[in-house]
Structure formats: structure tokens, C-alpha cells
Amino acid sequence: MSMSDPIADLLTRIRNANQALKPHVDMPASRLKRELLEVLQKARYIDGFDLLEDSKSGVLRVYLKYTPERERVIAGLRRISRPGLRKYVKAKQVPRVLGGLGMAVISTPKGVLTDDECRRENVGGEVICYVW
């Protein structure tokens, strides 16, 4: 059976593994998921990810990041735009998450960008999620 919201599944798997203090989590791969994980890695919310080959589309292994005291780097993840209700913003309306302490991940014509990059590039798009 096909999944109706693979991005929500990605965020839930990361959230659950993060709560359980797991070193990594595996999930089915897709191009959008890889782009989203690249943004999280660039913003230093995760240590990295690998694409493992299988007979289908592949498997993404996400390595979660913790402080030396074993505290979580990702305090929260929230899916904003979902299949039943898409959320789009213009370049001037790009949201700030927790007054700039978190970040919004936005799918734009220039690729998947953070809220700061959207403001710098003056581009809007679909708000995928908030991370803090």
C-alpha cells in the first residue's frame, strides 16, 4: 500500500528515533527526502545520511546528532504543508520559527531552502516543516 504523506513519515521516524536516543534511523528514499536531509545536515541538525541501495528506490540511513552530554540537537519537528492542506508563502511572508532560533524548510523553484536562504534569494514556496 502506498504512503499518503512520505515527508510526515520521515519527520515522524526522525522524531521517534531522536526521542529514543538512537544513533541512526532508516527509511525509504526519494529525491525530496534527500534534499530535505541535505538542508538539515547543512544546518547541523543531523550528522549526515547515506543512501543504501536495495531492489527498490533505496534506503536512507539518517545519523542523528546529540551533544557530548547526550542531549538532543533536534528539540522539535512539525509538518506544516500536508497533502490535505498545502501551505504556500510569498517571499515577503516567509515565517520565522521561534523568533529565529529554529528554521522553516521551504520547497521553492530554486530547490529546498531554509527560511534564511529564501529571504536572501527573495523567493517563496511551499512550507514543508519547522525544525527547532
Note every long-range contact of 19-23, with CB atoms under 8 Å and residues 24 or more positions apart, other chains counting. Answer: 19/72, 21/66, 21/70, 21/72, 22/64, 23/63, 23/64
pLDDT (tens digit, 9 = 90+) per residue, 86-95? Answer: 999 999 999 9
What distance in Å separates the CA atoms of residue 47 and residue 55, rounded to the nearest whole number?
A: 26
Do 55 and 87 reside in the same domain of the chain?
A: no
Do 89 and 122 reside in the same domain of the chain?
A: yes
Domain extent at residue 81: 77-131
pLDDT at 33 over 80: yes
Do 47 and 85 reside in the same domain of the chain?
A: no
Supply angle C-alpha 43, 48, 49, rounded to 5: 130
* Number of domains present in the structure of the chain: 2
What distance in Å separates the CA atoms of residue 42 and residue 70, rounded to the nearest whole number?
A: 21
Do 118 and 90 reside in the same domain of the chain?
A: yes
Q: What is the pLDDT of residue 122?
A: 96
pLDDT (tens digit, 9 = 90+) per residue, 50-75? Answer: 999 988 889 999 999 999 999 999 99
Do 82 and 55 reside in the same domain of the chain?
A: no
